[in-house]
Chain A
Amino acid sequence: MVNLIWVAMAVVGIAFAMMSGTMNKVNEAIFQSAKEAVTISIGMISILVFWLGLMKIAEEAGLLKRLAALFKPLVRRLFPEVPPNHPALGYIVSNMVANMFGLGSAATPMGIKAMEELKKLNSHQEEASRSMITFLAINTSSITLIPATVISIRMTYGSAAPGEIIGTTLVASTISTIGAVCIDRYYYWKRTRKGGKR
């Protein structure tokens, strides 16, 4: 499905440019976005190094295990395939907490580290495991307590109550996270029914 979407966006875009005369813009966009992608990746080094370094201290001090233990009933049910006390659970929980508080720069390194730990448990090295899919389903619809960026935009444009959307955002993101887990479980059920493959 990724392959299909990836090719479709590029090919439809190029075909559309042929008809609408926007080929110049497309040319420009190709090189600009390739450059942007590298800039983003390289720019991630600073936060990755910093947070992974800090999280290593937290891991060695046993802090991640305690954090995971705090959310054990929930995490165990969400990720039944991950053995209890596995470091992956600590990183998953810290990613979720960071996301909740809108700390994107801290959440990404923790999430990547969680994926790395999940990969160690995965027998198919290049294929997403069940736990990975669940983790990303939760991550993409993550529960948000404070949507800081949106609040600042609303302030800029003179909102009478910039923070009034905190409630609606919280409800919408909570329901969609629960929904995402249900959808994830449905697809898992479909996969297992189709011949026991994960």
Chain B
Amino acid sequence: MEMTQQQANAEAQRCLYCSDAPCRDACPAHIDIPTYIAMIRSGNVRGAAEVVKTSNALANVCGKICPEEVFCQTACTRMKLDAPILIRELHYFATRSEARSGFSARRTPPPATHTAAVIGGGPAGLGCAFELSKLGISVTLFDAKEPGGVPRATIPSFRLTESELGDDLRFLADAYTVRRETVTPARLSSLRKEFDAVYVSIGLGLDRTLGLKGEHLQGVLPVLPFLESAKRGTAAVPDRVVIVGGGNVSLDAASTAKRLGAASVTLIYRRGEREMKVWKSELEEARRQGVEIRFMTVPVEIAGTESVVGLLCRHTKLSAEKDASGRPIPVDVKGSEFMIRAECVIIAVGQVIGSDLAREFKLTKKGYIAVNGEFQTSVRGVFAGGDAVAGEGTIVQSVAHGKLAARAMQRFLHDTRRASRPGHV
């Protein structure tokens, strides 16, 4: 829900306008939050939107779905007095208002001195492309599909509307030239010659599997194709659906299945609610839709002969030992098997890189593209960022990642030029 002018004013008046504001540090894109809130307060809503957009290229998308309870609002000083400022909602109010009344004219970017190819038009690619254009680097954006990445492909439309993403893409459109093509490893080599620098932001996109018996059965769906078809309007669900996985994507799938008409939707997660790393708004939405969430539950086997008839599960308990994320490791409780009857099982247990391009680079142990502190991959002149480097993250983190990489690319291009100058050793 978008705030009214009066609500936005009242909320903005609560802001303490902290010096060196902690909210700004907590925002991955470092939006100058107190300044834009002061602008809303003074009635300069257009100025407020400009402050947001100066730091975040996907302003309307983040204004709508950024998990404020993870970032800015966790740092709000006002919380120590009463309750945090509704920072995201004020951001959304400002950028929606600007989108409706027409984007502000931007300053002419500096004349292009270099060229860059950005592979992948998701949040990281768009963040990088936008920052590069501000730096006077001419950008060509390669994507097999229309730019928009995860927000376009799989974030359900009940969370993010076509117009919110569309407004951001409309705003960004003159920052780059789009080429609709799939970049193959061979094509990457030619792009390296054609452009001064390359940024790889190919995301993840391939669902992990469970490796359980019955995973081949009809009715077992990886979550990403399911969400994509739901967004296209071609998905259908049977009466009973089980979702395996305890992340935001699983909650999206659960809420979507319910909205598509499934009579019962059960989500199973191997740990407890406290360990679930999801956003409050997502969990609330799933519960509002009537999704049943079974904590401390792991899948054992998918039952059925040709089609799924159910999911055999087992209860877990949390051990004292903790994993890399700092959460207790769940262990199966022997003999606790039980069956959840369902005609569809959706697997949402994380993703890996789907693109062939990954093979061209040195990868991390987890299978992501390895980069150094300057976002450089093992291939000279090729930079990378976003989920393909950092693993599944939020949109704002990817935008910020792309922005930082753009600065690193500029430093690289600047140094390369100096190094190639005659007489320079």
B is bound to A? no
